[in-house]
Amino acid sequence: MTAISYHTPDALLAAYAMGSLSQPFALVVATHISLCLDCRAGFEAHQAAGGLVLEAAAAQPVTFALKSRVLDRLDSSVPPQASFARMGVFPGPVAASLQGKQPNWRSVGMGVRQSILSADHEGSVRLLYIPPGQAVPDHSHGGLELTLVLQGSFHDCTGHYRVGDLEVADQDLEHTPIADPGPPCICLAATDAPLRFTGWMPRVLQSFIRI
């Protein structure tokens, strides 16, 4: 694997360690941690710091009913975990989300395909397949977008992203990601709000392609 140049911001690592990230973003961060030694070390440092805080905190009595509710909630909202297992180009957390099946690719036009892994009130996470030389239409963002490269590479106005690199985009960024020559670019992308496309055709199709 090539050296990773673009990492998970420390604030996102801390939020993931605390379990406060939404499921879409947690899946991307877990997948990046499974690929990146530096970010894995940062995540483990946040876990260790959190453990020290808990050990130092004074114990508080709780009722049996409250304890049961908390444990039930924890069981129902376990965040994706970093894993070294792989399924082809898909790292362990993505393979687990796919449940051992191949992605359900659907065309979104211009040769670009997507496979939606989840979508709810917290946001959405999907796999994107972008043929060499093809661009994702120019867009800005209604919120936060995390894009992790799993195969191939792409570039935009912010830099050149290869396997393992994570692009973090917010409302201030308008860009046109373009897949590089070579193998098709496959990315894992999570958003917490719809993209804002510049062209009229992508805007018309947006409700159908759910991006």
Contacts of 196 (CB under 8 A, 6+ apart): 139, 140, 141, 142
Contacts of 193 (CB under 8 A, 6+ apart): 123, 141, 142, 143, 144
pLDDT tens column, 105-149:
999 888 999 999 999 998 999 999 999 999 988 888 889 999 999
* In a shared domain, residues 68 and 129: no
- Whether the Cβ atoms of residue 145 and residue 187 lie closer than 8 Å to each other: no
Q: What is the pLDDT of residue 112?
A: 92
- CATH number of the domain at 204, please: 2.60.120.10
* In a shared domain, residues 121 and 195: yes
- Of 81, 96, 111, the residue that ends a domain is 96
Looking at the domain assignment, is residue 2 inside a domain? no
Looking at the domain assignment, is residue 179 inside a domain? yes
- pLDDT of residue 20 exceeding 60: yes
* In a shared domain, residues 30 and 107: no
Q: What is the pLDDT of residue 74?
A: 45
- How far, CA to CA in Å, does 149 sit from each of 10, 43, 45, 124, 126? 19, 20, 25, 17, 12
* In a shared domain, residues 62 and 107: no
Mean per-residue pLDDT over the chain, rounded: 84
* 88 vs 60 pLDDT, higher one: 88
Domain with 79, as residue range(s), is 10-96
- Of 96, 112, 140, the residue that ends a domain is 96
- CATH number of the domain at 35, please: 1.10.10.1320
* In a shared domain, residues 87 and 111: no
User: What is the percentage of the chain residues whose pLDDT exceeds 70?
Assistant: 75
Parallel, antiparallel or unpaired: strands 185-191 and 145-151: antiparallel
* In a shared domain, residues 75 and 55: yes
The residues with which 156 forms a beta bridge, in sequence order, are: 159
Segment 190-210 shows an average pLDDT of 64
Q: What is the tally of structural domains in the chain?
A: 2
Looking at the domain assignment, is residue 4 inside a domain? no
- Of 44, 64, 96, the residue that ends a domain is 96
* In a shared domain, residues 152 and 113: yes
* In a shared domain, residues 115 and 201: yes
* In a shared domain, residues 43 and 115: no
* In a shared domain, residues 178 and 193: yes
pLDDT tens column, 29-75:
999 999 999 999 999 999 987 554 445 555 566 666 654 554 555 45
Helix (H, G, I), strand (E, B) or coil at 58: coil
Contacts of 13 (CB under 8 A, 6+ apart): 29, 33, 39, 42, 43, 46
